[in-house]
Amino acid sequence: MATLTASKKPSQAILEEYCSSNSNTTSGTTSPSSLESPTAEIDKDPLAQQKGVQLPYPFLPTCLAKHDSHFIERRARQFPADLKLPLLPPESACAVIDAQDKDTPDSWVTRDSRLVRLTGKHPFNAEARIRDLYTAGFITPTNLFFVRNHGAVPKVDFERAEKWELKVHGLCANPTTFTLANLRTRFRVVTLPITLVCAGNRRKEQNVVAKSLGFSWGAGGVSTALFTGVYLADLLEYVRPTKGAKHVVFEGSDDLPNGPYGTSQLLSWARNKSKGMMLAWAMNGLPLEPDHGFPLRLVVPSQIGGRSVKWLARIELSPIESQHHLHFHDNKVLPTTLTAEQARAEKHWWYDPRYLIRELSVNSAIAYPNHDEILDTSLHAPGSTYALRGYAYAGGGRRITRVEITLDEGSSWRLAQITYFEDAFREVEEEDFGVDPIYGVLGTNEQGENCFCWSFWECEATMEELKGAGSIMVRAMDESLAVQPRDMYWNPTGMMNNWWFKVCIHDLGDGQLRFEHPTMAGTQPGGWMQRLKDQGLDPAYPRFAKGEDAKAPTVLEVSRPAALTIVMTNPDVKRTISREELESQEGKEKAWFVVNGEVYEGLGFLEKHPGGAPSIQLVAGEDATDDFLAIHSPAAKQQLADFHIGTLVSSPSSPPSTSEKETDDLGPGGTFLHAKKWKKIELIKLGVVSHNAKIFRFALDHDEQALGLPTGMHVYVRIRRRGEGEGEIVQRAYTPLSDAQNTKGFLDFLIKIYRPCPEFPLGGRMSVEFDRLVVGDEIEVKGPVGHFEWLGHRTAQIHGHSMPIDEIGFVCGGSGVTPILQVVRAIFNETSSEDAEIPDVWVLDVNRNVDDILCREDFERLDEVHGSGRLKMHHSLTGKDVPNDWKYSTGRPSEEMLRAHLPAPGENKLVCICGPTTMEQTVKTLLSKIGWDLEKQIVLF
């Protein structure tokens, strides 16, 4: 094995020495003389001589390089012995395709079978067993380095790698697209030892206590490597951030359901070279393997692994943090008072910046004794000792300052000896290391006193001490005096678990001891935590002390938030309600509905219901169990107890409820909609109206089938979510764009897409799901629903009561224009009748920009063909981009605007409103001030 030469030896000589030392490898290996000089460009470019390096062979991961004619077996070169640096892993990169990856998108990626798979076959997430990890030493072999993938590994071959581009743009004076060659020659190449840790490290322990939202990492979600690349700070200096830039946003190239993985850093941190953030193309002197981000990745020391974006393709200088899906929906420590179910259902928690994780917390674990290791103390002389060993790390560049061991559950502690391998790199002078064609220079001089790596600890315990102990526990402290806690902080994501690491000792008799770790990674069985739980004890509060010091462990039932029982009934309610009562007029008027056999009154909650009153009215007088349980959070389920009025009982004479009756399709002559039954419709056509609006056409059962929707009423729609929260149901009422009275065989929905943005990080939950639909997808509908219907002949029906209409005004915003278009269309279609008398119609349509105005041509056509001046259409824009020739209003609805562009209050007049909730409430308040009767003359669609 060759060693790196620290002298000023020419680069070509270093290359020849390297290639010579690896010449007895695989067939296809060529001599250096057959290769084009790898240093030719450096010799021509003075800047490259000062800053960059040229790689001495085609720099490809093993799974790609082994097929290349220039392949050299991938073994890292050791550093010269006189530098006294830790040994690099001697093993070559894995060249074997694991059989478990067959028939997966990663069937081309080489992986070591020693890794423990945590998420089945795909996507690949894995860690090494802690025994293998520790034994491998300070620098982790690439083959055993933990892997966190969210989907398939991007397949980057030699050609794509050669053309790989990193786009840097946004708020910077010099936006640039870099190739890998640009990075290697424009900036100084550095190598740093860095420990990466998954935020989920040790999550299996949390999952045993109560299932979190994440899969079960053991204590092997941590690894250390020598990363080679360029400083992020140097690149940022080159592109020159401009005023307003506060965040650096990074995006990978992985193809995920909700877009590529992305996250961000504070610009002030990213520009600080002492924080060591790098753009790396190599680890341990070899190309990045595909699982680790080939050909380029971000490496962020001392922060959670989720900040080190792999397959890096884009960097943006931005005034706001990353808006990527997984930037919000991952890497959070949510409050321990939340259950996992609540966190999944109540999305606002994920957008609270207080719960974001950046820096690692102090942590440690025990590697030896290993799980299920047997120690025969009888084979050792009195006074003999056993070396307890493990690792410890901290975040934010902080140094581990002490590691403490207890054999009596914390009553007393002893200090362990700590080895800081990282310090060996600090002690090497730059001139002694030189400039290497692969490693560049050591970058430890720039990191100051920051610590980026784990440390190893060791503590001796006598055989007698171990025989008398019930457990071994370890805790670490960093230089900020942060110390690992005794008790677990359970949280819905299961992240940042760092309570004391505890190993149970079993006395087998005859001097033999068996050691039991808390858990085994992934689905592997074993560990004292699951054993205690199976015994009905709470693994969050174990007791291992022997003899008189032992106390009974806490009983399991008392402690965990995930075990919370949700009570949806009022124990004081004793009333029984028959099915006849439920389906009576009273039951429908008071919006009685059934969940799990219990009856609830929804009347008092209609105005407050987040899903709108129609979603309750639609199930009045029937069983709503499936819909309610599918879409409501635990908090909403608990709130249901306030509306509990009785228990449903059946009698032999009671007929089945409407919801239980089988309903047959009526064929082409019958209408499609059913008020009590969800029916599937298939997307057959998709049209784009604008940058944020689409028309979705769905097929009915038969080409000549009518929808069966009265004018002014709505269709209730539900969609099962994809991606994050997959299977969760979202639903709301919509009015079709298509003419509900005259169109057959299909219906069109005009949907304005409210995508996530800084002001509204969640976006519109329902419209985002519409945006994901593709032709062939299905959604479900039922109806009609609503309390307004246009009967024709100057008559409307509101809440079942008819009302003559002489003048009618409409105020709408966004896609709220569609129910108004239905009514206006029906009104003006009556002009075809000679004796028709139609009311005067006023429409005020409020939008942000001109491009956001929907159905404008439809209204203009109606006025031109039928209106005879009776349609008074007016617009207002609330955005900044108002055209110079704009002849309408600007700004949100005001009292002056409503007086000018709606009818004056009076008898037989009505105003209908449909738009965002804030607009509806503002308009209602202003109309009341003008003199409208809110109870009788205002309708909210």
As given in the structure block, the two tokens for residue 547 are 């003899």
Q: Counting beta carbons within 10 angstroms of the beta carbon of residue 666, is it exposed (0 to 12), middle (13 to 18) or buried (19 or more)?
A: middle
Cα–Cα distance, 577 to 575 (Å, whole number): 7
Q: Which of 132, 234, 330, 627 does the annotation list as catalytic?
A: 330
Q: In three state form, how does the secondary structure of 699-712 look?
A: ECCCCCCECCCCCC
Closest CA to 290 of 143, 180, 185: 143
Beta carbons of 850 and 941 less than 8 angstroms apart: no
The identity of residue 383, as a single letter, is: G
Task: Please check whether residue 175 is in contact with residue 168, taking contact to mean a CB–CB distance below 8 angstroms.
Answer: yes
Does 881 qualify as catalytic in the annotation?
Answer: no
Q: Single out the residue of 940, 932, 935 nearest to residue 905, CA to CA.
A: 932
Task: Say which residues have a Cβ less than 8 Å from residue 790's Cβ, sequence separation at least 6.
Answer: 710, 711, 712, 796, 797, 823, 826, 827
Residues counted in the chain? 941
CA 592/CA 601 separation, integer angstroms:
4
CB atoms near residue 698 (< 10 Å): 22
Largest Cα separation within the chain, whole Å, is 115
> What CA–CA distances, in Å, run from 4 to 62, 227, 443, 729?
21, 16, 17, 60
- Cβ-count burial of 826 within 10 angstroms (0-12 exposed, 13-18 middle, 19+ buried)? buried
| Closest C-alpha among 297, 35, 250, 277 to residue 156 | 297
Strands 871-877 and 840-847: parallel
CA 490/CA 674 separation, integer angstroms = 46
Closest CA to 149 of 123, 167, 175, 127: 123
Catalytic residue chosen out of the listed positions 198, 453, 855, 912: 198
Residue 504, marked binder:
no
Active site residue 255: no
Q: Which of 207, 331, 498, 829 is catalytic?
A: 331
Q: Please give the structure tokens belonging to residue 527.
A: 């560990």
Structure token pair of residue 900: 């000018």
**Site of tokens 């030469």:** 5
Is there a catalytic annotation at residue 692?
Answer: no
Provide the annotated active-site residues. 198, 330-331
- The annotation places the binding site at 198
- The annotation places the binding site for Mo-molybdopterin at 198
